[in-house]
Chain A
Amino acid sequence: MINVIKFAYQPGEHEAEKASNSYLMSLIAIIAGLPLPIINLIATIIFYLGNRKGTFFVRWHCTQALLSQLSIFFINSFGFWWTVSIIFTDEIITSKYIAYLITALIFNLIEFITTIYTAIQIRKGIHVSWWFYGHLTNLICKSGS
């Protein structure tokens, strides 16, 4: 799931702190965002926009954090609106709904733990690339741009 690989260069102390913060931002957003899924995304987008002119290491990790937030956003949004429809419309609580909530919870938990681990590693200047998201970030984030 998570690969510790060598980055193109050794990031400095200040860079590592900033890059690590991008994960902390999504972490705080996860806690606040569970009931309102849009908060995660907004917090991470703001951080991403604020650092898009940062160094390659910072940009790379902001992008990885943003991408992972994006998929969690879809999962949580669907669960959120399903819950709203149960409360306000004819929709009733079914096993399918509860199973979805549990699945969403599992994926949120995985994301949560991975994010904490990554934030700690990045703070130490160790480059961590996630399964799927790491490769996707490589595609989007180029060192020269």
Chain B
Amino acid sequence: MKKILIQGVITIALFFATWFLLIQIDWVAIFKIQKVTDETEEKIGELFWDMTQSTENENNSPLVKNTMDSLVTKICLENKIERKLIKIHVLDKDEINAFALPNGHLIIYSGLISNSDNQEELCGVISHEIAHIRLNHVIKKLVSEIGLSVLISITTGNGNSEAIKAALKMLSSTAFDRSLEKEADIKAVDYLIKAKINPEPFANFLFKLSDKENEEAKYLTWISTHPDSKERANYIIEYSRNKKVKFEAIIANSTWSKIKEKLKE
């Protein structure tokens, strides 16, 4: 009996020892898995953006573009995020919505800017979407919703435009998992604090939109895809409570007003 036990333990130990030894090798680098993943994401991102660009109106006003660039640059710079990884685009649409596409494309609807009372609210939403990008939520969601095989077939050119459209619709109008949303919210608060932007307006923005929810639900895409706005606003306030920082505005209030005027035209 003792012999069997010893032999059994040795067999199991042998298995784990082999595994442990093999773990010491960086297989991910050897098989270039990260590179393949990055290339796939790049291709998908470009395909999605091309499709969006061909179906929607991009706002190319220098004032809007430069202002958005200033906001994103500040957030990226203070959080050591490579600026060129985030590609911001403003689309002329009345809906209050913003979403991230693969390869760092961040889409903002003009309706979101018009309905933000101040730059801090908008920065909150931008930070939240940047967090989704940086935490790799976009690809994770695509893989879990449409499957790796469909994604790869899209990149190899076998995917039809219907598949791309369906995936795009899913990214722009459905929520991430609850846990991923919370993770992005908390990360967004970290980004805001580091960029010396007050996170409280971001929480207020969620409160405000959740109150509006019933009146104009069809324009509130961002809020309908991000459920439990009040709960989110509460934990954002709770998380940012003890972080005392001197907040600074990124753009002048006059510029902010000009943008809102411009978008009303």
Does chain A bind chain B?
A: yes
Interface residues of A, Cβ cutoff 8 Å to B: 71, 75, 87-90, 93-96, 98-100, 102-103, 106-107, 131-132, 135-136, 139
Can you show 12 pairs from A to B with CB atoms below 8 A apart? A71-B11, A87-B143, A89-B144, A90-B140, A93-B33, A94-B28, A95-B25, A95-B26, A96-B23, A98-B27, A99-B22, A107-B15
Whether A102 pairs with B22 at a CB distance below 8 angstroms is yes
Q: How far is the CA of A95 from the CA of B25 in the complex (A)?
A: 7
Whether A139 pairs with B4 at a CB distance below 8 angstroms is yes
Whether B19 pairs with A103 at a CB distance below 8 angstroms is yes
Known: A132-B4, A132-B7, A132-B8. A95 touches B19 (CB 8 A): no
Whether A88 pairs with B22 at a CB distance below 8 angstroms is no
Q: Nearest chain B CB to A39's CB is how many angstroms away? A: 21
Q: Nearest chain B CB to A37's CB is how many angstroms away? A: 15
Our pick among A88, A90, A98, A103 for the contact of B15 (Cβ within 8 Å) is A103
Nearest B residue to A136 via CB reads: B4
Q: How far is the CA of A107 from the CA of B11 in the complex (A)?
A: 10
Please give, as numbers and ranges, the residues of chain A lying within 8 Å of B25 by CB-CB distance: 95, 99
Q: How far is the CA of A9 from the CA of B229 in the complex (A)?
A: 78
Our pick among B10, B11, B18 for the contact of A103 (Cβ within 8 Å) is B18
Known: A94-B28, A139-B4. A103 touches B22 (CB 8 A): yes
Query: Lowest 3 CB-CB distances: which A-B pairs, in order?
Result: A99-B22, A98-B27, A132-B7
Q: Nearest chain A CB to B141's CB is how many angstroms away? A: 9
Nearest A residue to B27 via CB reads: A98
Q: How far is the CA of A99 from the CA of B19 in the complex (A)?
A: 6
The 0/1 profile, CB within 8 Å of A marked 1, for residues 59-84 of chain B is 00000000000000000000000000
Please give, as numbers and ranges, the residues of chain A lying within 8 Å of B8 by CB-CB distance: 132, 136
Whether A88 pairs with B7 at a CB distance below 8 angstroms is no
Q: How far is the CA of A89 from the CA of B15 in the complex (A)?
A: 27
Known: A89-B144, A93-B33, A99-B22. A131 touches B11 (CB 8 A): yes
Known: A107-B15, A135-B4, A139-B4. A93 touches B28 (CB 8 A): yes
Our pick among A88, A98, A107 for the contact of B28 (Cβ within 8 Å) is A98
Please give, as numbers and ranges, the residues of chain B lying within 8 Å of A89 by CB-CB distance: 144
Whether B15 pairs with A131 at a CB distance below 8 angstroms is no
Known: A87-B148, A88-B144, A93-B28. A135 touches B3 (CB 8 A): yes
Whether A95 pairs with B27 at a CB distance below 8 angstroms is yes
Known: A90-B144, A132-B8. A98 touches B19 (CB 8 A): no
Please give, as numbers and ranges, the residues of chain A lying within 8 Å of B23 by CB-CB distance: 95-96, 99
Q: How far is the CA of A135 from the CA of B9 in the complex (A)?
A: 14
Q: Nearest chain A CB to B90's CB is how many angstroms away? A: 30
Whether A106 pairs with B18 at a CB distance below 8 angstroms is yes
Q: How far is the CA of A139 from the CA of B5 in the complex (A)?
A: 12
Q: Which of B113-151 contact A (CB under 8 A)?
A: 140, 143-144, 147-148
Q: How far is the CA of A93 from the CA of B40 in the complex (A)?
A: 15
Nearest A residue to B8 via CB reads: A132
Q: Nearest chain A CB to B37's CB is how many angstroms away? A: 8
Our pick among A71, A100, A135, A136 for the contact of B19 (Cβ within 8 Å) is A100
Q: Nearest chain B CB to A35's CB is how many angstroms away? A: 15
Nearest B residue to A91 via CB reads: B140
Q: Nearest chain A CB to B26's CB is how many angstroms away? A: 6
Q: Nearest chain B CB to A47's CB is how many angstroms away? A: 23
Nearest B residue to A131 via CB reads: B7
